[in-house]
Structure 1
Amino acid sequence: MQNQQLHLFSIYPCVIMNSSSIYILVFVQLWLLSLPCRESVCIPSERETLLKFKNNLNDPSNRLWSWNPNNTNCCHWYGVLCHNVTSHLLQLHLNSAFYEKSQFGGEISPCLADLKHLNYLDLSGNGFLGEGMSIPSFLGTMTSLTHLNLSLTGFRGKIPPQIGNLSNLVYLDLRYVAYGTVPSQIGNLSKLRYLDLSDNYFEGNQLEGTIPTSLGNLCNLRVIDLSYLKLNQQVNELLEILAPCISHGLTTLAVRSSRLSGNLTDHIGAFKNIERLDFFNNSIGGALPRSFGKLSSFRHLDLSINKFSGNPFESLRSLSKLSSLHIGGNLFHGVVKEDDLANFTSLMGFVASGNSFTLKVGPKWLPNFQLTYLEVTSWQLGPSFPLWIQSQNKLNYVGLSNTGIFDSIPTQMWEALSQVLYLNLSRNHIHGEIGTTLKNPISIPTIDLSSNHLCGKLPYLSSDVLGLDLSSNSFSESMNDFLCNDQDKPMQLQFLNLASNNLSGEIPDCWMNWTSLVDVNLQSNHFVGNLPQSMGSLADLQSLQIRNNTLSGIFPTSVKKNNQLISLDLGENNLSGTIPTWVGEKLLNVKILRLRSNRFGGHIPNEICQMSHLQVLDLAQNNLSGNIPSCFSNLSAMTLKNQSTDPRIYSQVQYGKYYSSMQSIVSVLLWLKGRGDEYGNILGLVTSIDLSSNKLLGEIPREITYLNGLNFLNMSHNQLIGHIPQGIGNMRSLQSIDFSRNQLSGEIPPTIANLSFLSMLDLSYNHLKGNIPTGTQLQTFDASSFIGNNLCGPPLPINCSSNGKTHSYEGSHGHGVNWFFVSMTIGFIVGFWIVIAPLLICRSWRYAYFHFLDHVWFKLQSFRSGVFLPKLCKCSSTNG
């Protein structure tokens, strides 16, 4: 009966709502209520159409179990909605939840066009036909459709122009299903109110990468989303297309990341009723036009990551309905005063970081807004702590990084921020101690106070804190009180960064109280001793960085239990002993293994070859000996076939909505191309093996050349012998090779010239001989890359002789014996003493010699002064 009432207006479309018609309507409703409940029974022909449609689908999760011939009433089938009076099939809701097991696949059968009364079709989130298949053109014959959603359905082709025949369409969603041309026929959909073409990659269309002018005919359009396209279009060209017919009714215009350029002019002023404008991540520049201030309906404005300049508040200050304002990542600048923000009474979200603003307000200023989200990184708010923050009692996100604060944090500020979920005060000059301020009842889940001047002991922590970054401060003493303090509740902390402080002593053995930890960074402190056994209780630990301390003892056995580790950095310590075989047997998920600059000895265990996820192996600057394992070819993550395409390596710290803002992206210091750099956002793309500065023996195993995804290879400063493997030319991803300071012999393999990405090469100081292979890369390297060998040819200044003889070339930095310089030195010494020795022995010879020098000097002086004296005169001076 309820459905009968819902369809009342579709049955009586022409009822005019005057007083008499209201009585009629009430009478009809009472009459319908008095009728026995009528159940829709589907029309047999439409049931058969649905069964044919099902036969062409793949349904791995059996969502269409109710679609079977034994269940004759198709109006009760999953996703089907019929008209309660006519029983015609009106709607098909077959959208998926976007995960593979629930998705429909297969083919959309043309028989679907036989459903002449169908007005609503939602197939979104499925995987029809696979890559490269286009949207079926027969959909253009289903002219009764008012709602069509094909977003994320797996189609990849041109939008069929037949779509323009669907003249009754009100809603059209074609996200992520097409490329090529935006058909001008879309301009025929005169009733369209919602159009979403986002997440597509249009190029080569009628207007050479621009939106067709026919879209300007869609006068009923209220929402249009053109985000993530390749438009290469001037922003005002787009606005000129939309303005004449659409501007008066359009409420939402989204063009995110679509390569819009040019300056925004007063064309925007034509969109009088616009409520949401999203130009995020384009190349739009210039100052905001004055007409912005007349768009009084604005509620959501996103101009982030563009090239806008000037002071935007001159145009925005009158927009009293704004609830969300995002203008970060531009070239905006200027002083923002109290009056500029006075009308923002509805503002809840304010993101304006990455500009050059100075907030100049009085010490007692109280804003007219109540924010929930505040991000003003790189504003000038200091030097005092901005006390107006205390008035914002609805905040759940606060970003005040790099805001020029030279102050301590007022005690009452912690109480005012007690409801905040994420607090970032990093990169300021905040000083003082924080003691018990982070203890209950203060329970901010995520706190970033890194890069300040905080000092004293580490603070006591609430059990509700999930992420804490106190790195790059001046905290000192032991971390015993911080770690071993008795807690009423289990600690929930997942992310802990105490790097670059002055913490000292042994690492306490209290980690059993912190079992939720996923990411621990204690690097660059003054810790001594070995890792405590309780660290093995961190079953979820994925990233452990303790480099650059003074740890000693053997490889920490506690790590054996941390089998979820993806990054282990124990570099720059004093650890000794051997690398245990269980490292390769237990730590099978590790992608980064960094043991650089310790005192490890013995052989490299073959078990490391079982670490198939390993992308970075750094064992440099130890005392390792023996042969390089030939099984390195099993490190499959260093092959092109198994390489990750994600540039970042995450420790999956999932603490609430804002977890990604804490640096849960793993970052590691790597020495590549001869210098040390911190790698984080692109670490997932780096593959490296560094075995340099050890005592390794034997040959370079030819199996290592199977690692065709390896970027950086350093085996320098060892005692390796034999030839450079002939297959090195197969390692086409190599960007850097360093085999210097070994005892390699033979010729340089010609295949090395195939390495087109090679930008750093050092083969110096070996026993290599012969021609340097000719290639596009090799001759561009400095001669120092080849010195200390018996090589010839460019870039060395030694020509290869026709009889095959070669010469040793040491260059200016060589350490070999160059006999030319030796003989020259000996000759100089012998000649010097032949002249000097007689003068030292015989006084009369010495007097005659110096008298001769005086005579020559006098002659020279006479010539310089222009006077020639034919006869020497004796000096009258007694000192002559």
Structure 2
Amino acid sequence: MHDMPYSKYFSGKINPSLLNLTHLTYLDLSNNDFEGMQIPSFLGSLKSLRYLNLSASSFVGLIPHQLGNLTSLQVLDLHDFQYEVDHGKTHSLLEVESLQWISSLSQLQHLDMSGANLSKVSDWLRVTNTLPSLVEYLDMSNCGLYHIPGGIANMTNLKFLNLYYNSISSTIPQWLYRLSQLQSLILSENSFHGEISSSLGNLTSIVNLDMSVNNLNGSVSEIFESFSRCSSGQIESLSLSDNNLSGQLTDKLDHFEKLRFLDLANNSISGPLPPSFGNLSCLKAVRIDDNNLTGVVSQLHFTNLTRLVEFHAHGNSLTLETTPHWLPPFQLSQLFLNSWHLEPSELPMWLQSQTQLRVLGMPNTRISGTIPTWFWNFSSQLEYIDLSENQLYGEVPHIFPSQFGEIFLGSNQFNGSLPLVSSTVFRLDLSNSSFSGTLFHFFCNNNSEPKHLENLYLDNNLLSGKIPDCFRNWKTLENVNLESNNLIGNIPRSLGYLLSLKYLHLRNNHLHGELPPYLKKCTNLTILDLSYNKFLGKIPMWIETSLSNLRVLSLRSNQFHGLLPYKLCDLTYLQILDLAHNNLSGRITLEVKYRIRLILGLSLDLSGNIISGEIPEELTSLIYLQSVNLSNNLLSGRIPPKIGDLRRLESLDLSRNQLYGQIAPSMSSLTFLRVLNLSYNNLKGKIPKSTQLQSFDQFSFIGNKLCGPPLEVNCSNTNGTVPQVADQKHGGSYLLEDGWFYLSCYLGFLFGFWSVLGSLLLNLP
């Protein structure tokens, strides 16, 4: 081995001269960098070894079976924290094909193989019952296990068992509850199912129990009561979050007198928080968020919680009642009361006493009024502030948290000018309020100071004026949302300096001009939404060549003209394309590479243009399409015969065109359709029969020469036309004035575009 200059670890090769140390009993090579070499098999010849630690040292490949020759070994640590990434998947660097060699380690007391890949072990039936019985510590977390090794049942001395983050899908075996020496049991992030047994109380030595993130069920009160008074008095950490637990909390929580960490989040626990909660005097951190808890929580619930540091209780329907001058016994660092109701309905004065608080979450707590002056001084110690979705009003002064911070004040009633924000803020949400004035002072004051802001939400306010040309020192911005304001003018040149920009939302303003070429410098753009403005000119070719990472492109309701850009098919990752309500012309052209590369496309809206020609057959190859709107154009020809191949289609609008012929019979295969509009074309013949097509009313088909259900026209009359219900009621062809039609189109757009966009955003990397 050799020591790398300026490094704190060894690297290179392990010299076989180690074998000269025939009496070596202790070898620790952990936390080094052996550059992807295999664990040397000659280590199995160090027969005197009692301790071998090779963890976190960049070993790769098979674990050599020669380690089974170390019959005096008492501690073996092979845990591995490093993973290779392959197409978004991770896997271990260490591999195991057989565990037979472990059965030879008869003196082994400590075995850590966490992170090693055991999924390829082929001899489980022979080795699971021969694991060394003297083992007290066993860690097989993140090993790709599909079941619990049965040999664990023989480890009567076992004190620590960690099976975290495997793929075990079974009930918890009864023999596991008989390991009465267990002090720590970690089964989290698997697929365990079934009811948690009352035999849990047999774990009389348990101190740390973690069964979180599984599919377990049971009554939470029965689980607590299953512990004897003896065992409950020694438990320090209890994690049962992200399961299917129900029922109410027991009022005997004070039996858990040593409990320091309690996690019951993301279950279906109901009822009140019992007063005995306030007797957990050792409690440091608690998570009861996202349950169905109701009732009043008073100061009495915190009487003896002098050590409480973290309190996560958001997503319940609890009410906190405190007196104005209450002085809490604790010093919190994190507090989440999202969706609680505070009494009185104002920002609690007792927050001032929390000098260690760094994280504060109180959104949707119905607090109202202006934010008191003391809070802005107090906020300088916070790293995270969330007071969104309340009824707060008034002006917001300058915001200067002490460290890199996240501030969420959106969905209130604040007014006045935007506040100046410290360069330490990296996420700021002031959306959905009544801020007014221009953006100039926000972006341009102190512009020589580099900013660290990454996410900025100023949408849905009353901001006006131009977008200032002051973005040179905002180069860390990744998400800018200025939509639904009263902004005017062009997109500023300095926006081209935002090389990290991924999401740009400028929709629903009064912006104008052609799309500037400097926007093509923002090559990381994933979402570009410029809809509902007054942009004009042709859609530039550089969108296809420079913005190749786009997943959402919305230029809806502007004044673009010219031919429909056929090279948009070069946007490999495009999932939503909305060019509706412009003056685009020409034909829809889909090349072969478009059919192959754009298979992820979810929504296509070209409605309200002057596009002509036929609907290309290639469109039916985009099998993941969920929404298509080509209405109000000059399209002619037939509906593509293979349109039924779009099996995932949920919204289809081809109305107000010049399509002719019969409705393609394959359309009866579109079983997911929720919105359909074929009205006002030249279609004729019988409407194909299917449960889905007949579920729509006549407004989906009027203005054609169609017959059969859901229309009242009998197909025996080959010249039959749709009854002139609309004409009689609305005076001819002015169906666009029909409220139902507007509603249908509106709902179709919302369903086919924004619901898809929402699901897309959830899956963005």
What TM-score do you get using the length of structure 2 for normalisation? 0.82
Alignment of 1:5-24 (within 5 A): none
Return closer, same or farther for 1:727/1:41 CA change in 2, 3 Å cut-off: farther
CA distance in 2, matches of 1:74, 1:597: 79
State yes or no: 1:171 paired with 2:173.
no
Instruction: Decide whether the 8 Å contact of 1:414 with 1:442 is kept in 2.
Output: no
SS at structure 1 position matched to 2:512? strand
CA distance in 2, matches of 1:109, 1:336: 53
State yes or no: 1:114 paired with 2:101.
no
Question: Any stretches of 5+ residues in structure 2 without a counterpart?
Answer: 1-19, 28-32, 56-62, 86-91, 733-765
State yes or no: 1:322 paired with 2:263.
no
Alignment of 1:372-771 (within 5 A): 372-378=333-339, 379-435=341-397, 437-439=398-400, 445-487=405-447, 489-631=449-591, 634=594, 639=599, 687-771=602-686
CA distance in 2, matches of 1:362, 1:233: 37
SS at structure 2 position matched to 1:705? helix
Instruction: Decide whether the 8 Å contact of 1:121 with 1:149 is kept in 2.
Output: yes
- Cα deviation digits, residues 439-488 of structure 1 (max 9, x gap): 5x755611111122222222122111111111122221211111111245
CA distance in 2, matches of 1:609, 1:475: 40
Alignment of 1:178-217 (within 5 A): 178-187=168-177, 189-202=179-192, 209-211=194-196, 217=202
SS at structure 2 position matched to 1:528? strand
Q: Where does residue 350 of structure 1 map in the other structure? A: 311
Q: Where does residue 230 of structure 2 map in the other structure? A: 248
Alignment of 1:263-274 (within 5 A): 271-274=232-235
State yes or no: 1:296 paired with 2:257.
yes
CA drift at 1:726: 1.3
What letter is aligned with 2:230?
H
Instruction: Decide whether the 8 Å contact of 1:613 with 1:635 is kept in 2.
Output: no
CA distance in 2, matches of 1:109, 1:185: 22
CA distance in 2, matches of 1:625, 1:232: 59
Return closer, same or farther for 1:315/1:309 CA change in 2, 3 Å cut-off: farther
Q: Where does residue 230 of structure 1 map in the other structure? A: 215
CA distance in 2, matches of 1:608, 1:541: 20
Return closer, same or farther for 1:580/1:547 CA change in 2, 3 Å cut-off: same
- Cα deviation digits, residues 531-587 of structure 1 (max 9, x gap): 011000000000000000001111232321110011111011011111111101111
Return closer, same or farther for 1:810/1:626 CA change in 2, 3 Å cut-off: farther
What letter is aligned with 2:38?
L
Instruction: Decide whether the 8 Å contact of 2:208 with 2:238 is kept in 1.
Output: no
Return closer, same or farther for 1:814/1:171 CA change in 2, 3 Å cut-off: farther
State yes or no: 1:62 paired with 2:36.
yes
CA distance in 1, matches of 2:23, 2:125: 30
Instruction: Decide whether the 8 Å contact of 1:42 with 1:88 is kept in 2.
Output: no
CA distance in 2, matches of 1:199, 1:186: 17
CA distance in 2, matches of 1:450, 1:592: 24
CA drift at 1:616: 0.8
Return closer, same or farther for 1:521/1:134 CA change in 2, 3 Å cut-off: farther
Instruction: Decide whether the 8 Å contact of 2:359 with 2:383 is kept in 1.
Output: yes
Deviates more, 1:783-792 or 1:810-819: 810-819
Q: Where does residue 220 of structure 1 map in the other structure? A: 205
CA drift at 1:795: 1.4
CA distance in 2, matches of 1:474, 1:230: 45
Instruction: Decide whether the 8 Å contact of 2:638 with 2:660 is kept in 1.
Output: yes
CA drift at 1:370: 0.9
Q: Pick from 79, 87, 96 the counterpart of residue 54 of structure 2.
A: 79
Q: Where does residue 749 of structure 2 map in the other structure? A: none
What letter is aligned with 1:89?
L
Instruction: Decide whether the 8 Å contact of 1:478 with 1:504 is kept in 2.
Output: yes
Q: Where does residue 779 of structure 1 map in the other structure? A: 694
Aligned length: 686
What letter is aligned with 2:629?
N
What letter is aligned with 1:243?
F
State yes or no: 1:128 paired with 2:118.
yes
Q: Pick from 708, 722, 725 the counterpart of residue 809 of structure 1.
A: 722
Instruction: Decide whether the 8 Å contact of 2:215 with 2:244 is kept in 1.
Output: no
CA distance in 2, matches of 1:214, 1:390: 46
SS at structure 2 position matched to 1:366? coil
Return closer, same or farther for 1:631/1:60 CA change in 2, 3 Å cut-off: farther
SS at structure 2 position matched to 1:751? helix
Instruction: Decide whether the 8 Å contact of 2:160 with 2:185 is kept in 1.
Output: yes
Instruction: Decide whether the 8 Å contact of 1:788 with 1:815 is kept in 2.
Output: no
Instruction: Decide whether the 8 Å contact of 1:140 with 1:166 is kept in 2.
Output: no
**Identical counterparts, % of pairs:** 39
Instruction: Decide whether the 8 Å contact of 2:52 with 2:73 is kept in 1.
Output: no
Instruction: Decide whether the 8 Å contact of 1:506 with 1:527 is kept in 2.
Output: yes
Return closer, same or farther for 1:753/1:368 CA change in 2, 3 Å cut-off: same
What letter is aligned with 2:722?
Y
Q: Where does residue 147 of structure 1 map in the other structure? A: 137
- Cα deviation digits, residues 237-293 of structure 1 (max 9, x gap): 6557x535xx623xxxxxxxxxxxxxxxxxxxxx23333333434555555433224
What's the C-alpha RMSD, in Å, of the aligned pairs?
3.4
Deviates more, 1:525-534 or 1:425-434: 425-434
CA distance in 2, matches of 1:181, 1:404: 43
Return closer, same or farther for 1:783/1:747 CA change in 2, 3 Å cut-off: same
Return closer, same or farther for 1:622/1:456 CA change in 2, 3 Å cut-off: same
Instruction: Decide whether the 8 Å contact of 1:425 with 1:448 is kept in 2.
Output: yes
What letter is aligned with 1:478?
T
